[in-house]
């Protein structure tokens, strides 16, 4: 069964320097029907204006993944990590027992990103950080594993029995993903348009998939997609 979460039905907040769409309840946006999906707690589609950003603030007991779509994001945290994240980079920060970090637009124009929170399998772990770059060829016309519980295939490692795939699909490109029995999936259309098991989807749409042994994706218009394989 596929349940579509239309882009226009997400929560929305515009703070001037930040224009954000929330797939799940977040901050002042509360929707009891969309609190989480399996271990997936947050997908925020953020557009940060030039010079804008998040000053230092705390997190704990959450696996936070940042995926840049356009621009660049400067990151600093209380673990001593400092980096700039660009398209093709996947950053994972395990908040664990507690971490403070800041994020600011490091581009000359707007920066757009997806920030993802995944609830960890075990709470109270030590904080951690990891960042890896995936070339355009790694993501082109395929579903590339970018985050997993064991770091396989060069992915970043997260503390949950979940796997995250990313892909950029040209028109008429077809890719598939098989779900093991008892697994579910969430698909987020980051850019463009695509078809999933016969359903047409556009930028910002999300889909919850249960009891679907195979997910068939067909690129329609410069699609960029994230696919979560979840317990």
Per residue in 95-117, is it b (16+ CB within 10 Å) or e — as a string? bbeebebebbbbbeeebbbbbbb
CATH 2.60.120.10 fits 2-230, yes or no: yes
Span 37-43, average pLDDT = 98
How does pLDDT run across 45-93, given as a tens digit for each residue?
999 999 999 999 999 999 999 999 999 999 999 999 999 999 999 999 9
8 Å CB contact between 60 and 95: yes
In this structure, how many other beta carbons lie within 10 angstroms of the beta carbon of residue 151? Answer: 15
How does pLDDT run across 87-132, given as a tens digit for each residue?
999 999 999 999 999 999 999 999 999 999 999 999 999 999 999 9
Q: What is the pLDDT of residue 179?
A: 97
In sign, the C-alpha dihedral spanning 227, 214, 156, 37 is positive
At 182, give phi and psi (nearest 5°). Answer: 85, -5
Q: What is the pLDDT of residue 161?
A: 97
What tokens appear for 43 in the block? 């997908």
8 Å CB contact between 176 and 136: no
Q: What is the pLDDT of residue 167?
A: 97
Tell me the CA distances in angstroms from 210 to 2, 65, 70, 190, one per residue in order: 7, 23, 31, 21
pTM of the predicted model, to two decimals? Answer: 0.96
CA–CA gap between residue 107 and residue 16 (Å, rounded)? 17
How does pLDDT run across 120-172, given as a tens digit for each residue?
999 999 999 999 999 999 999 999 999 999 999 999 999 999 999 999 999 99
Question: Considering the chain, what percentage of its residues have pLDDT values greater than 70?
Answer: 100
């Amino acid at each position: 069964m596929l349940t579509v979460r239309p882009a226009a039905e997400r929560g929305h907040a515009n703070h001037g320097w930040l224009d954000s769409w929330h797939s799940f309840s977040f901050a002042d946006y509360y929707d009891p029907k969309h609190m989480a999906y399996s271990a997936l707690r947050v997908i925020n589609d953020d557009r940060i204006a030039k010079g804008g950003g998040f000053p230092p603030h705390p997190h704990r007991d959450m696996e936070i993944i940042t995926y840049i779509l356009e621009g660049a994001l400067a990151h600093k945290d209380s673990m001593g990590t400092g980096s700039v994240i660009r398209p093709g980079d996947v950053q994972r920060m395990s908040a664990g027992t507690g971490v403070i970090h800041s994020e600011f637009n490091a581009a000359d124009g707007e920066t757009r990103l997806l920030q993802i929170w995944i609830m960890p399998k075990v709470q109270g772990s030590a904080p951690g950080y990891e960042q890896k770059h995936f070339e355009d060829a790694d993501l082109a016309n395929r579903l590339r594993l970018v985050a997993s519980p064991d770091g396989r295939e060069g992915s970043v490692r997260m503390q949950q029995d979940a796997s995250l795939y990313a892909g950029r699909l040209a028109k008429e490109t077809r890719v598939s993903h098989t779900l093991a029995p008892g697994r579910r999936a969430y698909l987020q259309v980051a850019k463009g348009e695509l078809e999933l098991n016969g359903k047409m989807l556009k930028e910002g749409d999300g889909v919850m998939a249960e009891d679907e042994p195979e997910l068939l994706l067909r690129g329609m218009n410069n699609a960029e997609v994230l696919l979560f394989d979840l317990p």
